Amino acid sequence: MVAKLVVFVALLGAAAAHHAFSSQHVHKYDGHHEPVYHHGHGHEHHDYYTYPKYDFEYKVDDPHTGDHKSQHESRDGDVVHGYYSLQQPDGSLRDVHYHGDDHSGFHADVKYSTHHVVPHYHNYY
């Protein structure tokens, strides 16, 4: 029983030893909404419409799991702009910048950057 407790405390200490970082940032838009129209008689139907406007951002940087990514997106009406970046399992970095609107649709510019890979040679003599 004591051995189980020692193993549990050791695992808990190892998990707490690595520091992870995560952040999030959101802007809320409390602007004016469109008027609500009431139709005739009988049951009232409410059609609520709020102008879509937001600004969103987050970032994760966790050296323990190797999870490194970030995203930023903003919207004003039917126009969306944003980017996201993440480190892929092979160590390369993927950067995507995108925008979209009602007229031209969604467009994304994807770029990959790789780090310099130094091969490890083992001499067995």
Q: Which residue has the higher pLDDT, 20 or 4?
A: 4
Sheet strands (E) in 1-125: 21-27, 53-62, 67-76, 79-87, 93-101, 105-113
Residue 13, φ and ψ in degrees, nearest 5? -65, -40
Closest by alpha carbon to 98, among 123, 125, 74, 77? 74
* Tokens standing for residue 88: 């892929």
Give the pLDDT score at 104.
93
List pLDDT tens digits, range 12-52. 666 666 566 666 767 666 666 666 665 556 566 677 888 99
Greater model confidence, 99 or 15: 99
Average pLDDT rounded to a whole number, residues 104-123: 80
The more confident residue out of 120 and 104 is 104
Q: CB–CB of 113/88 below 8 Å?
A: no
Q: State the pLDDT confidence band at 121, using cuts at 50, 70 and 90.
A: low
- Poorest-pLDDT segment among 29-33, 86-90, 93-97: 29-33
Res 34: pLDDT: 64
Per the rule left: phi > 0, alpha: psi between -120 and 50, beta: everything else, 42 is left
Does residue 89 register a pLDDT over 70?
A: yes
CA-based R_g, the chain, Å: 25
- Arithmetic mean of pLDDT over the chain: 80
CA dist list (Å): 119 to 122, 124, 125:
10, 16, 19
